[in-house]
Amino acid sequence: MRNKLLNGLTPAQFLRRHWQKRPLLARNSLPQFADLLSRRTLIELALLPEAEARLITRKGRHWDVRHGPFRRQDFAKLPDRDWTLLVQGVDLLLPRAKELLGRFDFIPYARLDDLMVSYAPPGGGVGPHFDSYDVFLLQGEGQRRWQISSQRDLTLVEKAPLKILSDFRPTREWTLNTGDLLYLPPRYAHDGVALANCITLSVGFRAPSAQDLCSRFYDFLQDNLDARGLYADPHLKATQQPARIAPQLARGLLDLLAQARWKRADMLRFIGEDLSTPKSHVVFNPPRRALSAPAFARTARRNGLQLVPASILLYDDHAFYMNGERCIPPAAARPLLRRFANRRKLDPAAAIPAGAAELLYAWYRAGFIAPAAE
């Protein structure tokens, strides 16, 4: 059957021809998610203290950006056109949004960032710009005109409150209707303007910069440092150059500093922990009245288990990484845990090996996983 998600391409073909290379338009790609959110629900989300929301208005060439959380009255007196409300991290606020992200699970979870949703009346948008990361733009309710450009000149307007290209020269244009999907690679110039009351769902990806990754690795080393010993010089000779760092002093300190080296295994551990670390504002809520371990095991067998939306569970050939923490379960537990990580759920009645039961119970107590709803 024709794969509507990617305009007839298989995931492998899409990745080879388009991913990080060129845009793709897929008509009628995901119509079943078009009603994921209404203007009213999006405004409700923007009122939550934990929401990352922005309200952008345009008057001619003048842009204004306000950051949430918002109050209800902020939306009462908005004009009929030329504004947009954007809410990041909707996948953590709305369970069905996670299902939408699941449609893109042919791309590793470690590359996925979040679902951003925008609402705009006619004329609303964020202006011509480029994003640093890959994005799939799904048209919800309404229509949006997208103009895109392969231009190299990505100079931005100086002193604007948001990223606006100073010389946008569109080379292609489409009107997206409900259910249509547009993929854009990183740094591809684009401008989406609402034609009718318009919801856009942006499935956004992430990629660490070398600078950020290295700087977080140094933090990791610092946190995990276990250097031993104290500089000692029982054979010290009297000096007439007390300011000098003599070779034997330097040698002694170099011996101590040699402990600051790291191994490939340390780097792999860092990568797993770093990629599975949720965003800093995420909090997990442990169950208020936790089940006992045997009751939890019975419920898990009867209902199955699921990761809570904010949890990130990844693995490599050596270990599992749950929300920034490494764990090395016994070999017998690993196939089940890999299945859990890949599918984000475990079916009812899956036999749970002893080595996994303890770990799953600890994750349940921490609020990282929960029994699936009956």
**Sheet of 112-120, strand order:** 24-26, 181-184, 135-139, 198-205, 112-120, 83-88, 52-59, 62-67
Range in contact with ligand SIN (rule: CB under 6 A) among 45-53, 124-132, 160-168, 309-317 = 124-132
Residue 54 CB, shortest distance to ligand SIN, in Å, is 10
**SS3 label, residue 354:** helix
Between 37 and 337, whose beta carbon lies closer to ligand SIN?
37
Alpha-carbon gap, residue 45 to 1, rounded angstroms: 37
Q: Which of 210, 157, 164, 176 is nearest to 56 (CA)?
A: 164
Closest CA to 236 of 251, 248, 224: 248
Q: Does 133 bind Co ion (CB under 5 A)?
A: no
Token pair recorded at residue 260: 């600051």
Binding residues with ligand SIN: total (CB under 6 A): 10
Min dist. Cβ of residue 144 to Co ion (A): 12
CA separation for the pair 85, 183 (Å, rounded) = 21
- Pick between residue 112 and residue 126 the one whose CB is nearest to ligand SIN: 126
- How far apart are the C-alpha atoms of 171 and 190, rounded to whole Å? 10
Q: DSSP class of residue 290?
A: P
The residue from 84, 88, 139, 323 that contacts ligand SIN (CB under 6 A) is 84
Instruction: Give the residue with the Cβ less far from ligand SIN, 139 or 299.
Output: 139
The span of 46-54, 123-131, 295-303, 328-336 binding ligand SIN (CB under 6 A) equals 123-131
Q: Strand 325-327's sheet: what is its strand order?
A: 313-315, 320-322, 325-327
CA separation for the pair 141, 137 (Å, rounded): 13
Minimum distance from residue 190 beta carbon to ligand SIN (Å): 6
Q: Which of 44, 74, 131, 141 binds Co ion (CB under 5 A)?
A: 131
Q: How far apart are the first and last CA of the chain?
A: 33
CB of residue 116 to ligand SIN, shortest distance in Å: 7
Q: Which is nearer to ligand SIN, 63 or 284 (CB)?
A: 63
Task: Assess 7 for contact with ligand SIN (CB under 6 A).
Answer: no
Q: Provide the CA 20 distance to its chain's centre, in angstroms.
A: 17
Q: 115 forms bridges with which residues in the sheet? A: 203
Residue 118 touches which member of Co ion, ligand SIN, none, C-beta under 5-8 Å by kind: ligand SIN
Does position 192 bind ligand SIN by CB under 6 A?
Answer: yes
For residue 202, the partner it binds in Co ion, ligand SIN, none, with Cβ less than 5 to 8 A by kind, is ligand SIN
Rounded Cα–Cα distance for residues 245 and 237 (Å): 13
Question: What's the closest the beta carbon of residue 21 comes to ligand SIN, in angstroms?
Answer: 18
Residues within the interface to ligand SIN (CB under 6 A): 84, 118, 125-126, 131, 135, 190, 192, 200, 202
